Amino acid sequence: MKKIVASALLALTAALGAQAQQKPSLVQPQDKTQASPRLTPVQERAKRLSDQMVRDLRLNNYQATKLRAINDDKVAKMAAIEQKYASNPKLVEEQCLGVCKERDRELQSVLSNNQYSAYYDARSDFYKFDKDFAARSASYMFVNSVQNPAPASSRGATISPATPKETPATRSSR
């Protein structure tokens, strides 16, 4: 009788072990060797503006996706204008307002009439929100670059004192 019970337990254990091995794991281990993607300052700027607009205008997923694509393009254009004409703030303002008008036309086809009206009424607030973030991030990047300057070489070289060379004065003192 003990042999029958032992063989039944052994068969049951083997069957459960085979069944457990066949089930695929639902949880996949995360690959920790890959770096997490980082956003560039322009992408971060576009993301913050888009997030604010999605919240304020109460957009659905489709509209939010379209808005993010539009803002990625327009913020990149505005950042290029700001960099190119940094010495002429009046021209920067004029050019950026032209880009904002492009965004207005594109958003008209994405938003409902009520949403577009709300956007149109608040677009100066969105523009100010974007400009304030750009100014804060630019000053942060400047301060960070001064406090933590990049190395002289991109190959990881460091600058250290040179070894003293032998001069005629050091030779004669020997």
Domain containing residue 68: 41-145
CB 49 within 8 A of CB 73: no
Total structural domains in the chain?
A: 1
Q: Of 122, 84, 139, 40, nearest to 48 (Cα)? A: 40
Classify residue 63: in a domain, yes or no. Answer: yes
- What tens digit of pLDDT does each residue of 85-126 get? 989 989 989 999 999 999 999 999 999 999 999 999 998 898
- Structure token digits, residue 8: 């039944």
Whether 141 is in a domain gets the answer yes
- Rounded-to-integer distance, Cα 34 and Cα 36, Å: 6
Of 137 and 114, the one with more pLDDT = 114
The reply to whether 15 falls in a domain is no
pTM of the predicted protein model: 0.58
